[in-house]
């Protein structure tokens, strides 16, 4: 197996790393502590201009057509600098992929260039509800066709980029009499649709610069052609796209973990106790060795899942394995890094406390660690049946 990157893959990875360190890293702390919507949106626009908002979208729609491996590599580099920017990039790429996958040609031509170019600051993925998180098939949001319009009523929670997304991919029940998960359809909703209400941003533990909002549909009226894909067949689209999204969140986790342990490694190589650098102590060395080994294993799992996706092979189980392992290990690594720095790691003069806050949600969104284990076990048992 050849694990080396192609020239194009290495070039895009380096481009992402350069942008992350020159544009994002210097302002990440400011965005986290004080917020600056204009600056945040400016950075998103720059990412779009570099091609990072449509990495796996076809060139005919303005995308980079670079593939999932490149998406994972770029996500890791952006996440090293600013997790808030990275999660926005991940969800926007996911929205672009689902549109290209199931939308009509007219819908693709209308929305994809706006996502890829940055005309839309971001895309929104409206699936989760208060009673339908780990079990999205239990959603209550409904869409009823009245003449030539769909009328939507319901609410979606924890929607990344809700307040500045230009278009939302929305799932709603269109056949309440169908078996659970079978009567759900997918729609494209523009941000200015009548009856669409964006609630104030949630106050979160981490990833402060990324807006997370409740999106309410109060008799929201959409044209008949807002339906995306086949009527009542939308749930399997959501399940498929979540698998790809897990590669993004696993890569985000990896990036945060690497940023944390790299910072701690530099610190222990300078900090002195008992007359020598603490990096000389075997206990410290073993903590570093375990952390970097775990993150390298996460990287390989992510590359395997991304490679399978690019080759058109089944990748759902591999994506869940990668997301589960990367998010859990990145959480551990961030706490290891903080521990290596002692009291210094706990104060806001250093970025470790931000990394620890930002990484925590990675084992929750895009499917909790517990749900990933359910998916993995289900697939493993299906293999013997």
- CB count in 10 Å sphere of residue 374: 13
| All CATH 1.10.540.10 domain ranges in the chain, comma separated | 7-120
Question: How far apart are alpha carbons 89 and 81 in whole angstroms?
Answer: 13
Short-list 161, 6, 15, CA closest to 77: 15
CATH number 1.20.140.10 is the correct assignment for the domain at 236-383: yes
- The tens digit of pLDDT for each residue in 196-227 reads 999 999 999 999 999 999 999 999 999 999 99
252, 90 Cβ separation under 8 angstroms: yes
Q: Residue 193: which residues within 8 A CB-CB, separation 6 or more?
A: 220, 221, 222
**Angle CA(166)–CA(168)–CA(171) in degrees, nearest 5?**
175
Q: What pTM did the predictor assign? A: 0.96
291, 336 Cβ separation under 8 angstroms: yes
Judge whether residue 101 has pLDDT over 80: yes
| All CATH 1.20.140.10 domain ranges in the chain, comma separated | 236-383
- CB count in 10 Å sphere of residue 385: 4
State the helix-helix crossing angle for 83-102 and 105-117, rounded to 10 degrees: 160
Q: What average pLDDT does range 147-167 have in this prediction?
A: 97
Under the banding of pLDDT at 50, 70 and 90, the label for residue 1 is low
Q: Please give the mean pLDDT across all residues of the chain.
A: 96
- The tens digit of pLDDT for each residue in 270-302 reads 999 999 999 999 999 999 999 999 999 999 999
| All CATH 2.40.110.10 domain ranges in the chain, comma separated | 125-233
Short-list 292, 368, 258, 355, CA closest to 324: 368
Q: What average pLDDT does range 60-88 have in this prediction?
A: 98
61, 99 Cβ separation under 8 angstroms: no
Question: How far apart are alpha carbons 184 and 173 in whole angstroms?
Answer: 4
**Higher model confidence: residue 132 or residue 122?**
122
- CATH for 125-233? 2.40.110.10
Give 329-375 as a DSSP string: HHHHHHHHHHHHTGGGGGSTTSTHHHHHHHHHGGGTTTS-HHHHHHH
Give 232-282 as a DSSP string: TB-HHHHHHHHHHHHHHHHHHHHHHHHHHHHHHHHHHTT-EETTEEGGGSH
Short-list 320, 358, 322, CA closest to 337: 358
Under the banding of pLDDT at 50, 70 and 90, the label for residue 109 is very high
**Angle CA(92)–CA(94)–CA(97) in degrees, nearest 5?**
110
Catalytic residue among 146, 270, 366, 383, which?
Answer: 366
Annotated catalytic residue 366:
yes
Under the banding of pLDDT at 50, 70 and 90, the label for residue 3 is confident
In angstroms, what is the C-alpha Rg of the chain? 21
CATH architecture of 7-120: Orthogonal Bundle (1.10)
Judge whether residue 189 has pLDDT over 80: yes
- The tens digit of pLDDT for each residue in 228-266 reads 999 999 998 888 888 999 999 999 999 999 999 999 999
Question: Which pLDDT score is estimated for 71?
Answer: 98
The strand pair at 272-273 and 212-223 is best described as unpaired
Q: What average pLDDT does range 345-352 have in this prediction?
A: 94
């Amino acid at each position: 197996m050849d694990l080396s990157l192609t020239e194009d893959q290495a070039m895009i990875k380096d481009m992402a790393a350069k942008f992350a360190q020159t544009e994002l890293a210097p302002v990440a702390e400011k965005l986290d502590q004080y917020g600056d919507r204009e600056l945040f949106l400016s950075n998103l626009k720059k990412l779009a201009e570099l091609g990072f908002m449509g990495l796996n979208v076809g060139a005919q729609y303005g995308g980079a057509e670079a593939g999932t491996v490149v998406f994972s590599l770029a996500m890791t580099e952006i996440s090293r600098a600013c997790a808030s920017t990275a999660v926005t990039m991940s969800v926007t790429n996911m929205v672009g992929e689902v549109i290209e996958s199931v939308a009509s040609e007219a819908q693709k031509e209308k929305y994809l260039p706006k996502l890829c170019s940055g005309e839309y600051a971001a895309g929104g993925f409206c699936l989760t509800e208060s009673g339908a998180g780990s079990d999205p098939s239990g959603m209550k949001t409904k869409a009823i066709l009245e003449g030539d319009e769909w009328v939507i009523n319901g609410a979606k929670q924890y929607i990344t980029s809700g307040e500045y997304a230009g278009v939302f991919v929305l799932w709603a029940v269109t056949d309440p009499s169908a078996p659970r998960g079978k009567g759900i359809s997918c729609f494209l909703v523009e941000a200015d649709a009548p009856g669409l209400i964006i609630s104030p941003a949630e106050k979160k533990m981490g990833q402060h610069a990324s807006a997370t909002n409740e999106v309410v549909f109060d008799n929201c009226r959409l044209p008949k052609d807002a339906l995306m894909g086949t009527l009542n067949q939308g749930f399997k689209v959501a399940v498929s796209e979540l698998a790809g999204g897990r590669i993004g969140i696993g890569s985000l986790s990896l990036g945060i973990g690497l940023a944390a342990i790299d910072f701690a490694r530099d610190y222990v190589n300078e900090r002195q106790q008992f007359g020598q650098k603490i990096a000389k102590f075997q206990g410290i060395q073993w903590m570093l060795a375990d952390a970097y080994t775990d993150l390298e294993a996460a990287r390989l799992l992510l590359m395997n899942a991304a490679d399978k996706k690019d080759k058109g092979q089944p990748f759902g189980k591999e994506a869940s394995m990668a997301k589960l392992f990367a998010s859990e290990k990145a959480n551990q690594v961030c706490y290891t890094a903080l521990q290596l720095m002692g009291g210094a790691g706990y104060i806001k003069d250093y970025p470790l406390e931000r990394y620890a806050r930002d990484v925590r949600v990675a084992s929750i969104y895009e499917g909790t660690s517990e749900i990933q284990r359910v998916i993995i076990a289900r697939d493993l048992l299906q293999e013997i049946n």
